[in-house]
Amino acid sequence: MRRQRNAKIVATLGPASGTPEIIRRLVEAGADVFRLNFSHGTHEDHRKRYDIIRSVEEETGRPIGVLADLQGPKLRLGTFAEGRVQLATGDTFALDLKGGPGTRQRVSLPHPEIFQALAPGVQLLLDDGKVRLEVETSDGERAQTRVVVGGPLSDRKGVSVVGAVLPLSPLTPKDRVDLDYALELGVDWIALSFVQKPEDVEELRSIVRDRAGIMSKLEKPAAIEHLNAIVALSDAVMVARGDLGVEMAPEQVPPIQRRIVRACRQAGKPSIVATQMLESMIGVPTPTRAEVSDVASAIYHGADAVMLSAESASGQFPLEAVTMMNRIITVAENDHDYYRPMSDAARPAPGATIADVICAGIREATRLLPIAAVVTYTTSGSSSLRASRERPAASILSMATSRKIARRLTLGWGLHSVEAAAVASVDEMSIRACEAAIREGYAKTGDTIVVATGTPVGVSGTTNTLKILTA
């Protein structure tokens, strides 16, 4: 099942896409990784979908990645005496810890940790930014605010804090239970919501260790201030544009998205652009032209993957959404007058390491020679991701010595991931690489392929050999 594109598709599963038939068809249409959103559904729901994914994986013979997305802290107002109030711009409005029903003058905000971070000038965005408040005074238990943008406000609407780092762990008690369950299932990636600082990633790493890859969701402006440190500590990064667009001006999101994607490319970590990519396809079978351009822009900027959320989880046209995303990526990547120059311009300079020199050689070989395929033989996945970072002109057949690593690498740009048996020598590896390139449809007998590997054979992180072979 060879893909005719390099960027990957992450599809969220939900009520509209939880059957074996739909999941199988989503894989055939182009889904490479499936997201289990732990903000919705029960553990049993997620187990059923996970088991179906693994069954489809066996049927297709193609590794499929599974991403468990943790909910993270959800900050919400209390309730109102009449269920709803109307706030006018310029009004004063208080938030406090008193509890009880709210009025037009005040409402409970049952999160003491928020009050610790409030100071004059900090903005509070309510109901996805539809109502905006600015703090005038705060004493740790009560904040007096001025309504900057008025509007209706009802029970338990969400609260976002702009201009302050909240003293909150990104892992709630619910998240910790969900995390244990996801790791028990055997998911390949854990997505961490509400990342504000590098220590948040370290907290998750201390629990997950090497049992899954860690994907940091960048949805808080505070995280952008620590971008390089967070990328360095993560295995992948998601640009969660919906929440970013609430907490910062919408026009700031595109340059931030591009900055995150470039930082990930520099570090050799996969980047995923997410949220509202084909939003209109929740209810109609075709996207808007603006949405098509949005997905294409993410590809031009060098994203490793793009993601569907409600479009595939609860929308009416999950299959059409994946099919459309596959078509958009394919056309964008074949725009050689624009796509390849953009990719070349974003290429990071190789580091002064043997592995980087080898992978830079892969890129140069595919530029100068008619290379049918690049083959990486990997134990940890690092050599495949280094080759991916170079964006060579030929597809990369990633031969991983464990199914766990093969599944995790399904997220990487240009990587066709397969599980391969361990080998005892470089010569055996070369034979296996040629056989696999032909078997997987990347080369024909007599074609030239490039093989990157390391010696001693089977030792992680020893990429030091580049071979050019005839299949």
Among candidate residues 253, 247, 307, the one with its CA nearest the CA of residue 278: 307
Catalytic-labelled residue, pool 49, 157, 241, 275: 275
Query: Counting every residue, how long is the chain?
Result: 471
- The CA-to-CA distance between both ends of the chain, in Å, stands at 20
Contacts of 279 (CB under 8 A, 6+ apart): 291, 310, 311
Question: In angstroms, rounded to a whole number, what is the distance separating the alpha carbons of residues 313 and 439?
Answer: 34
- Among this protein's residues, is 24 annotated catalytic? no
Q: Decide: helix, strand or coil at residue 145.
A: strand
Contact yes or no for 357/433 (Cβ under 8 A): no
Alpha-carbon distance values, 22 to 11, 16, 60, 254, 308 (Å): 12, 8, 14, 33, 15
- Among this protein's residues, is 35 annotated catalytic? yes
Question: In angstroms, rounded to a whole number, what is the distance separating the alpha carbons of residues 405 and 109?
Answer: 44
The pair of three-digit structure tokens given for residue 116, joined into one six-digit string: 């610790």
Among candidate residues 241, 343, 257, the one with its CA nearest the CA of residue 298: 257
Among candidate residues 363, 353, 368, 355, the one with its CA nearest the CA of residue 390: 363
The pair of three-digit structure tokens given for residue 283, joined into one six-digit string: 């209810």
**Does residue 65 come out as left (phi exceeding 0), alpha (psi in the -120 to 50 range) or beta?**
beta
**Chain centroid to CA 386: how far?**
18
Catalytic-labelled residue, pool 25, 47, 54, 76: 76
Question: Could you tell me where the DSSP H helices lie in 217-338?
Answer: 221-224, 227-233, 241-247, 253-267, 289-300, 310-313, 318-333
Question: In angstroms, rounded to a whole number, what is the distance separating the alpha carbons of residues 191 and 236?
Answer: 9
Alpha-carbon distance values, 103 to 82, 86, 95 (Å): 8, 10, 11
Catalytic-labelled residue, pool 5, 8, 62, 217: 217
Catalytic-labelled residue, pool 3, 5, 8, 35: 35
Alpha-carbon distance values, 272 to 33, 240, 418 (Å): 11, 9, 21
Alpha-carbon distance values, 60 to 54, 322, 323, 391, 395 (Å): 10, 18, 18, 27, 20
- Among this protein's residues, is 275 annotated catalytic? yes
Q: Among all chains, which residue has been given the structure tokens 């609430």? A: 246
Task: Give catalytic residue positions.
Answer: 35, 76, 217, 275
